[in-house]
């Protein structure tokens, strides 16, 4: 006769086994969470929060909205007003706000905000604010008498746009749009820069990636196939520059490639070129490409090497013994097996190159500048919202590329080593 | 982004602000060294308060970031004139009470003693510095004499160094194109004037090496990378006098402006900061600075007695931007123009550069 199965399994102290197990597991989970908590907090604080903050900043600017409450209210009540001819009430609200700016010392803040889209307004606001308290109705004529620019339709469009705390204005500017008397339109050709630089940044990054791949492939192959002693030495030669400061490596390229530099002097000394024909290899796009290819090379070599090291040589030998030529063996047997390494290295180098800043800033001169240099430029000019908008666009385009990459090649095929 | 700025400024300040009563932020290099010798050390010795100098590529954006983040670690900053006005308008700076500034050594009240425009609502001038151009005398024994020569590639072949930015470069191009200094800003206020300046720059664009930090131009000249370059006059002076370089400054078409001491809003030691500024911009403080670098003192009383460089023999007067013989064709930077047009023209400049 079978033993009666108890209704519930219990532990020695009589607690149900299931509950006891769950409690024990929950404790273990909590402990595990506690262990990764520092990392989570670190990632949150130093990565996610700043990025979220940046994205917010690219949409948000309250410099004008907070300084001009009366005008903001008027704009809300009259959404369809004619910027070419705003009525007296609008001017009355503006004069009230200008007087308020003068006492609260917010003129500069408000003027700076409008100045982003309508140049020349900071001094206009300062002048207006100084006079505001003395003006008498009708305010429209009075204010225009102070400065005729107060009647400019572009200015009123700019103020309306800036009266919203959340705005896409900075993205418009970052897409080469300009605010004119008739609203937003494409900037005149000579002022367009952002989209052009985006294109150039991606093009240069692609060139650098291809160069890195061409240079790294043979090196990685050599590393993977040489006997241990020799390959260790070669590995040190690869890693040594990798461990050297970025600035040192960039400036040594300046020493080598500048007009009076080592390479040019050697060429002149050997009589290949005369001294007036010294090559321009620095402070232009060539300088940027050479220096960045060198700086990023290890990021291509290392993933390639880690993939190549584990490719069994017997496959290639089998192909050869079955009659394949060395080219066919390489193309059909070896190369396909290195693809995960090529994919990982290319992605790594390309993404790093797109955001590179120091090297192009030092060696890029005029035409070797990338989009990141413009981001830094706007940071230094205190236009953080525009800098954030450009950075957000850069981030979005990289995510888009990453997604495309995932669809075409598959992220799970990546191998970083 | 702003967060990184805040974090990095916080990190920097952790290192420095530990036991300083007054932290001064300036431009580093020969200029920062001059202010350390002339202002920071003597004020410290005189009052017994600790003071330190920290360097920045440009203190203005740095203090703006601090004030906006609510974590101000700098008490006094040295900023360009237009920035002193703009930041003051934006409420980033503490107003400075001009009546508390000491009278000149000869007893002239401060407000009369300072040159016109040297005291603003939130800033006091420490010196007048200038954008000039300089060349290597071993390359051109019969050197360039005028701003127009800088753009003359036939008479003076070779690379040119120019500061990478619109300010002082556009004005310089217009002066070289024959615009009288008194009309430069009215011409530059029109779209045609801006086009004209860029057209002038186009004539040498292929030969230009662009520099950003003040220490670069003397280096570019010394390396032979450029035949002539624009520069801050004090940096060239130091290269010539202290390092014996064969450089010559051309004063024609010089563009000068005041450099200002300001106090960021919420400075940890505001009262001491004001005391520091009063000392540094006294006749004595300004003279001491002008003995360390060739920028003109902003007080008339500081110019009364002959200024001698710290080497004990070089008479400073002919090397200052304010010397009458250097002022024959000189332009004062218009802060009002640049407060308004800085963003617009720099964007155009960047677009022009990359084309």
What string of DSSP letters covers A256-293?
A: HHSTTSHHHHHHHHTTSS-GGG----SSSHHHHHHHHH
User: Would you say how long chain B is, in residues?
Assistant: 355
Q: Does B302 touch chain A (CB under 8 A)?
A: no
Judging contacts by C-beta atoms under 8 Å, the chain B residues touching residue A50 are 1, 3-4
Residue contact A108–B58, C-beta within 8 A: no
- The residue of B340, B346, B348, B349 whose CB has the most chain A CBs within 10 angstroms, and thus the best one to mutate to test that interface, is B340
Interface test with B, best of A57, A126, A366 (most B CBs within 10 A): A366
User: Which residues of chain B make contact with A257, given a CB cutoff of 8 A?
Assistant: none
Nearest C-alpha neighbor of B68 from the set B41, B84, B90:
B90
Chain A, nearest residue to B95 by Cα:
A105
Cβ pair B353:A57 closer than 8 A: no
Among the residue ranges A316-320, A381-385, B69-73, the one predicted with the least confidence is A381-385
Share of chain A above pLDDT 70, in %: 97
Decide if pLDDT at A148 tops 70: yes
Residue of B nearest to A368 (CA): B354
pLDDT tens digit sequence for A172-221: 999 999 898 888 999 888 888 899 999 999 999 999 999 999 999 999 99
**Separation of alpha carbons B78 and B35, rounded Å:** 10
Residue ranges and CATH numbers for the domains of chain B are 2-128+258-324 (3.40.190.10), 130-257+328-354 (3.40.190.10)
Give bridge partners of residue B127 from the DSSP assignment.
Answer: B259, B297
pLDDT in tens, chain B (355 residues): 444 445 454 444 444 444 678 999 998 888 999 999 999 999 999 999 999 999 987 899 899 989 988 899 999 999 999 889 888 888 899 999 988 899 988 888 888 899 888 999 999 999 999 999 999 999 898 889 999 999 999 999 999 999 988 999 999 999 999 999 999 999 999 999 999 999 999 999 989 988 888 888 999 999 888 999 999 999 999 899 988 999 999 999 999 999 999 999 999 999 999 999 999 999 999 999 999 999 999 998 888 888 888 888 888 889 999 888 999 999 999 988 988 888 889 888 988 988 7
Average pLDDT, chain A: 89
What pLDDT, on the 0 to 100 scale, is given for residue A414?
65
Picking from A206-215, A270-279, A327-336, A381-390, which range would have the lowest pLDDT averaged per residue? A270-279
Phi and psi at A132, nearest 5°, equal -50, -45
* pLDDT at res. A56: 93
How far, in Å, are A186, B232, B292 from residue B241 at the CA level?
52, 15, 11
Nearest-angstrom CA–CA distance, B246 and B140: 11
Chains A & B: contacts with CB separation below 8 Å:
108
| Chain B environment of A388 (Cβ under 8 Å) | 1
Chain A neighbors of B58, CB-CB under 8 A:
380
Pairing verdict, β B208-211 and B160-163: parallel
The ipTM value here is 0.74
Q: pTM, whole model, 2 decimals?
A: 0.81
**Contact across the interface for A115 and B340, Cβ inside 8 Å:** yes
């Amino acid at each position: 006769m079978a033993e009666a199965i108890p209704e519930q399994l219990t532990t020695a102290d009589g607690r149900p086994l299931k509950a006891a197990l769950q409690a024990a597991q929950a404790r273990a989970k909590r402990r595990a969470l506690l262990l990764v908590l520092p990392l989570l907090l670190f990632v949150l604080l130093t990565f996610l929060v700043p990025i979220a903050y940046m994205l917010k900043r690219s949409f948000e600017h309250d410099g004008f909205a907070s300084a001009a409450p009366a005008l903001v209210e008027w704009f809300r009540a009259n959404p369809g007003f004619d910027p070419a001819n705003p009525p007296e009430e609008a001017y009355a609200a503006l004069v009230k706000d200008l007087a308020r700016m003068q006492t609260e010392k917010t003129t500069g803040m408000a003027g700076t905000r409008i100045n982003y889209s309508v140049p020349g307004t900071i001094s206009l606001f300062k002048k207006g604010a100084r006079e505001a308290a003395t003006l008498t109705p009708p305010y429209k004529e009075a204010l225009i008498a102070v400065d005729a620019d107060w009647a400019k339709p572009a200015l009123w469009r700019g103020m309306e746009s800036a009266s919203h705390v959340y705005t896409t204005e900075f993205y418009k500017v970052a897409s080469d749009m300009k605010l004119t008397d008739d609203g937003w339109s494409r900037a005149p050709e000579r002022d367009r820069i952002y989209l052009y630089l985006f294109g150039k940044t991606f093009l240069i990054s692609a060139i650098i990636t291809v160069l890195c791949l061409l240079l790294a492939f043979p090196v990685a192959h050599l590393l993977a196939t040489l006997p241990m002693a020799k390959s260790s030495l070669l590995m040190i030669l690869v890693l040594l520059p990798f461990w050297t400061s970025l600035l040192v490596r960039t400036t040594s390229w300046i020493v080598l490639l500048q007009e009076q530099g080592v390479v040019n002097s050697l060429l002149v000394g050997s009589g290949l070129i005369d001294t007036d024909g010294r090559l321009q290899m620095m402070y232009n796009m060539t300088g940027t490409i050479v220096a960045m290819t060198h700086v990023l090379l290890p990021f291509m070599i290392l993933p390639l090497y880690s993939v190549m090291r584990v490719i069994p040589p017997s496959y290639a030998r089998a192909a050869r013994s079955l009659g394949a030529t060395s080219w066919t063996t390489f193309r059909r047997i070896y190369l396909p097996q290195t693809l995960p390494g090529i994919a990982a290295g290319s992605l790594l180098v390309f993404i790093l190159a797109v955001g590179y800043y120091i090297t192009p800033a030092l060696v890029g001169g005029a035409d070797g500048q990338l989009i990141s240099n413009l981001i830094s430029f706007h940071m230094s000019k205190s236009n953080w919202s525009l800098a954030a908008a450009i950075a957000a666009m850069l981030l979005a385009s990289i995510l888009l590329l990453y997604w495309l990459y995932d669809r075409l090649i598959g992220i799970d095929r990546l191998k970083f080593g | 982004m702003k967060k990184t700025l805040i974090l990095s400024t916080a990190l920097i300040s952790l290192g420095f602000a530990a036991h300083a009563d007054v932290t001064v932020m300036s431009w580093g290099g020969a200029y920062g060294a001059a202010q350390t010798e002339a202002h920071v050390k003597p004020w410290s010795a005189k009052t017994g308060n600790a003071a330190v100098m920290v360097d920045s590529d440009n203190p203005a954006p740095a203090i703006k970031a601090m004030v906006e983040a609510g974590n101000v670690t700098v008490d006094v900053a040295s900023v360009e004139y237009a920035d002193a006005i703009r930041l003051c308008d934006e409420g980033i700076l503490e107003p400075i009470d001009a009546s508390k500034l000491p009278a000149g050594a000869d007893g002239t009240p401060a407000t009369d003693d300072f040159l016109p425009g040297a005291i603003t609502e939130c800033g006091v001038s420490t010196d007048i510095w200038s954008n000039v151009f300089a060349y290597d005398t071993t390359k051109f024994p019969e050197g360039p004499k005028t701003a127009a020569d800088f753009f003359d590639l036939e008479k003076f072949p070779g690379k040119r160094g120019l500061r990478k930015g619109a300010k002082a470069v556009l004005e310089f191009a217009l002066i070289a194109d024959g615009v009288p200094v008194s009309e430069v800003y009215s011409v530059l206020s029109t779209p045609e004037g801006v086009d004209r300046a860029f057209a002038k720059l186009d004539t040498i664009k292929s030969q230009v090496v662009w520099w950003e930090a003040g220490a670069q131009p003397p280096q570019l000249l010394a390396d032979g990378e450029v035949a002539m370059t624009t520069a801050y006059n004090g940096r060239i002076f130091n290269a010539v006098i202290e390092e014996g370089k064969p450089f010559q400054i051309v004063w024609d078409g010089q563009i000068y402006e005041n450099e200002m001491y300001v106090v960021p809003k919420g400075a940890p030691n505001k009262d001491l900061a004001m005391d520091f500024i009063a000392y540094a911009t006294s006749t004595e403080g300004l003279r001491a600075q002008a003995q360390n670098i060739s920028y003109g003192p902003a007080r008339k009383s500081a110019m009364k007695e002959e200024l001698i460089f710290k080497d004990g023999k070089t008479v400073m007067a002919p090397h200052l931007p304010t010397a009458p013989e250097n002022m024959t064709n000189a332009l004062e930077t218009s802060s009002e123009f640049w407060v308004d047009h800085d963003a617009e023209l720099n964007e155009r400049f960047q677009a022009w550069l990359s084309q």
